[in-house]
Amino acid sequence: MIAELEESLAATPYSLEPEARQRLMLEGLNALTAKHYERCLPYRRIIDGYWRGKTEFEEIGGAPYLPVSIFKTQIMQSVPDTEVRLTLTSSGTTGQAVSRIPLDAETSSIQQRALASSLRHVLGPDRLPMLVIDTDKVFKDPKMMSARGAGVLGLMRYGRTHSFALDASLEPDIKGIRQFLDQLEGRPFFMFGFTFLVWTSFYERLRDKGLDLSAGVLIHSGGWKKMAERAVSNAFFRTAFGDAFGLTKIHNFYGLVEQIGSIFLEGRGGLLYAPNFADVIVRDPRTLEPVPDGSTGLVQLLSLLPHSYPGHSILTEDLGVIERISDGADGWAGKGLRIEGRLPRSDLRGCSDVIAMAA
């Protein structure tokens, strides 16, 4: 593990204010860029051909970035095949290319440590009883096994005595939920689920059932597209859960499978904050130059976690805006990011009419 990551993990989670973070991130990114340049041929070719072979930069904005699509089209790997323990794949609809992320033992353990440190920041030092807002079939039934199942399993590691709020057909198990709450007698607990399911299968079905979730911490993640279609914003989501269940400790998170373990957690102001070992830069979608804070642009994610593949600096196709810079006095240091959705797709039609054939 690079020294800069060691140092960021040693600090209190989400505590590094911009200046200290910049220094660690810059040194860390330079170290990772040099390391991957050395060990990953496709990466070296890109650095040589697009970035003039430079691996050391004076500011993080100068560091090379890869398009997120490259993890779908190429095998980007900085360790020998024999050291790959697991290849993560992103969820994707049938026929679509998926990202393939090779993890070795070191990077897997780094990711778990990093994720644990982030989650402890909102869950506290002890593992809490956990209510999973999903069905246990999501990982028990191999036919249903998916990124969602993997996500649920990954997060379950950070709770104990798990209960599942939904049955196999994603109907709420109200009896089971009441049982789970009753035996806690007001002690804190942890809830996790995917945003859309949490809304449709939990909130919409149970809002008038008089459940008291005020001792709970809800962590949720997932795309906002379907939520936006229902005109549910993050602020509305928070208010609704507060009104219906007295639940106020709610943390959305944002991250890429390409930077798994590196999660931007929702903190003060409903904004997403980078952990100490990560950062974000927002770029103009047309010029790719960094934009001033407060302007919308393409989100570039930086993370010191990826050691077995060159995923430490990725230009996503998500649009976002940095709304706040914090010194960390409120427990959330660094840039406060809001995600505004995906860059709208565009289909240039070729001289091949395949699309029109179906129309």
**Site for other proteins, rule CB under 8 A:** 42-43, 45-46, 48-50, 66-67, 69-70, 73-74, 76, 285-288, 298, 315, 317, 343-346, 348-357, 359
CB of 297 to other proteins, least distance (A): 9
**Residue among 169 and 352 whose Cβ is closer to other proteins:** 352
- Positive or negative: CA dihedral 312, 95, 86, 35: negative
CB of 97 to other proteins, least distance (A): 11
**Residue among 69 and 248 whose Cβ is closer to other proteins:** 69
- The helix-helix angle for 3-10 and 18-39 (nearest 10°) equals 150
Picking from 148, 109, 111, 116, the residue whose alpha carbon sits closest to that of residue 132 is 148
Q: Are 261 and 5 in contact (CB under 8 A)?
A: no
Q: Are 150 and 117 in contact (CB under 8 A)?
A: no
**Residue among 21 and 283 whose Cβ is closer to other proteins:** 283
Identify the helix (H) or strand (E) that includes residue 242: helix 234-245
**Residue among 67 and 294 whose Cβ is closer to other proteins:** 67
C-alpha–C-alpha distance, residues 148 and 193, integer Å: 9
CB of 284 to other proteins, least distance (A): 9
**Residue among 186 and 344 whose Cβ is closer to other proteins:** 344
CB of 354 to other proteins, least distance (A): 5
Q: Are 70 and 316 in contact (CB under 8 A)?
A: no
* Rg of the chain (C-alpha set): 21
CB of 317 to other proteins, least distance (A): 6
CB of 322 to other proteins, least distance (A): 19
Q: Which long-range contacts (CB under 8 A, 24 or more apart) does 138-145 make?
A: 141/168
C-alpha–C-alpha distance, residues 216 and 69, integer Å: 37
C-alpha–C-alpha distance, residues 297 and 54, integer Å: 25
**Residue among 52 and 175 whose Cβ is closer to other proteins:** 52
**Residue among 72 and 127 whose Cβ is closer to other proteins:** 72
CB of 233 to other proteins, least distance (A): 24
Phi, psi of 165 (to 5 degrees): -80, -20
